Amino acid sequence: MVLQIQSPTIDQVGVEERVARLMTRSIKKESKLEGLKLALNMIDLTTLEGKDTVGKVKQMCYKAQHLADDIAGLPTVAAVCVYVNHVKTAKRALVNSGIKIASVATAFPSGNSSRKVKIEETKMAVANGADEVDMVISRGEFLQGNYNFVFDEIAAIKEACGPARLKVILETGELSTLDNVRKASDIAIHAGADFIKTSTGKIQPAATMPVTLVMLQAIKDHYDATGIMIGMKPAGGISTSKSALNYLVMLYETLGEKWMSNEWFRFGASSLANDIILQLGKEKYGAYYSMNYISKD
Partner 1 sequence: MSKIKKTFASYDAAPENTSHIDLKAQYDLFINGKFVKPQSKQYYDTINPATEKKIASIAKGNEKDIDVAVKSANKAFESWSKTEPKERAKYIYRIARMIQERAREFAVIETMNGGKPIRESRDIDIPLAANHFFYYAGWADKLDYAFPNRKPKPVGVVGQIIPWNFPLLMAAWKLAPALATGNTVVLKPAESTPLTALKLAEIIQESGLPDGVVQIVTGFGDAGAALVNHPLVNKIAFTGSTEVGKYIQKAVAGSNKKVTLELGGKAANIIFDDAPIDQALEGIVNGIFFNQGHVCCAGSRLFVQENIADKVIQKLKDRMKTLIIGDPMDKNTDIGAINSKEQLLKINNYIKIGLAEGAEMYQTNCALPSQGYFCKPTLFLHTAQSHRIVQEEIFGPVLTIQTFRTIEEVIEKANNIPYGLSAGVWTDKGSKIFNLTTKLRAGVVWANTYNKFDPTSPFGGYQESGFGREGGVHGLLPYVHF
- 191 or 213: CB nearest partner 1: 213
How far apart, in whole angstroms, are the C-alpha atoms of residue 144 and residue 29? Answer: 49
Least CB distance to partner 1 at residue 18 (A): 5
Q: Does 217 bind partner 1 (CB under 8 A)?
A: yes
Among 260, 284, 294, 295, interactor with partner 1 by CB under 8 A:
260
Cα dist from 69 to 63, 75, 238, 277, whole Å: 10, 10, 23, 10
Residue type, 98: G
Q: With CB under 8 A, what is the number of residues at the site for partner 1? A: 35
Phi, then psi, of 95 in degrees rounded to 5: -55, 135
Q: Does 162 bind partner 1 (CB under 8 A)?
A: no
- 138 or 212: CB nearest partner 1: 212
Among 28, 51, 116, 296, interactor with partner 1 by CB under 8 A:
28
Residues 6+ apart with CB under 8 A from 296: 274
Q: Does 261 bind partner 1 (CB under 8 A)?
A: yes
Given a contact cutoff of 8 angstroms between Cβ atoms, the answer to whether 58 and 264 are in contact is: no
Q: Does 30 bind partner 1 (CB under 8 A)?
A: yes
- Backbone dihedral region of 10: left (phi > 0), alpha (psi from -120 to 50 degrees) or beta? beta
3-state secondary structure 225-243: HHCCCCEEECECCCCCHHH
Q: Does 253 bind partner 1 (CB under 8 A)?
A: yes
**Could you list the active site residues?**
134, 197, 233
What distance lies between CA 165 and its chain's CA centroid?
Answer: 12
Q: Does 29 bind partner 1 (CB under 8 A)?
A: yes
Least CB distance to partner 1 at residue 242 (A): 14
Closest CA to 268 of 246, 245, 296, 239: 239
Q: Does 202 bind partner 1 (CB under 8 A)?
A: no
What distance lies between CA 184 and its chain's CA centroid?
Answer: 16
By CB under 8 A, which span of 159-167, 195-203, 252-260, 278-286 interacts with partner 1? 252-260
Q: What is the DSSP letter of 283?
A: H
Q: Does 283 bind partner 1 (CB under 8 A)?
A: no
Q: Does 248 bind partner 1 (CB under 8 A)?
A: yes
DSSP-assigned states of every residue in 154-204: HHHHHHHHTTSEEEEE--HHHH-SHHHHHHHHHHHHHHT-SEEE---SSSS
Q: Does 284 bind partner 1 (CB under 8 A)?
A: no
By CB under 8 A, which span of 56-64, 106-114, 148-156, 244-252 interacts with partner 1? 244-252
Among 107, 129, 203, 252, interactor with partner 1 by CB under 8 A:
252
- 19 or 124: CB nearest partner 1: 19
- Site residues for partner 1 per CB under 8 A: 8-11, 13-15, 17-18, 21, 24-32, 34-35, 37-38, 41, 75, 217, 224, 248-249, 252-253, 257, 260-262
